[in-house]
Chain A
Amino acid sequence: EAQVTQNPRYLITVTGKKLTVTCSQNMNHEYMSWYRQDPGLGLRQIYYSMNVEVTDKGDVPEGYKVSRKEKRNFPLILESPSPNQTSLYFCASASGINTDTQYFGPGTRLTVL
């Protein structure tokens, strides 16, 4: 089954404790992206990657890092999480630039205390 998976689905952590949210897709997609969703602000793109070793900033990259060492994986790293990073995070993938369908993962709800 074609899918995007994220782990963990829920995470409560404390300020400053480094964390990684994993994202994996099994569709051999070139494009992957991370978004955060906050009430009243909608979805905002954090980072995206067009291919292995190629990443670009989205609208809200501050406080986040990403890496794309393999095509299927695109982890989101918070080196020093802060409470304003409490949010619902979605990973997504698509087959390439200007392609039709972008598939979203189930989401990771992160709370930073």
Chain B
Amino acid sequence: GQQVMQIPQYQHVQEGEDFTTYCNSSTTLSNIQWYKQRPGGHPVFLIQLVKSGEVKKQKRLTFQFGEAKKNSSLHITATQTTDVGTYFCAGNSGAGSYQLTFGKGTKLSVIP
């Protein structure tokens, strides 16, 4: 079945440093979604990417979808303590299915 690998598993950064997490799918995706989960909370939807090579920005967050629609990245510029949490990608293979396969997540710690 479809697999989504996400790296790194953990990332510790100094406040103000940049952060990037990467996702790679074993199959071509119809779309990829990104979520953030704060400690003790539930996943919160951040964005969905659909088009090959798509780049979307949300303030300090930049999301990219690879040309082959098999990989994606989330980049945070100048991290803040409010960015702390686990970031997940989730891939959908499409073909009329809404089966979502999540990566295992990247846990971000920000040192003030």
Contacts and interface: CB of A to CB of B under 8 A. Distances in A.
Interface of A is mostly: strand
Interface residues of A, number: 27
A75 interface: no
B85 interface: no
Contacts, number: 61
B29 to A, nearest CB: 11
Interface residues of B, number: 25
B42 to A, nearest CB: 4
B16 interface: no
Interface of B: 1, 6, 30-31, 33, 42-45, 48, 50, 88, 90, 92, 94, 96-105
Interface of A: 31, 33, 35, 40-45, 48, 50, 56, 58-59, 90, 92, 94, 97-98, 100-107
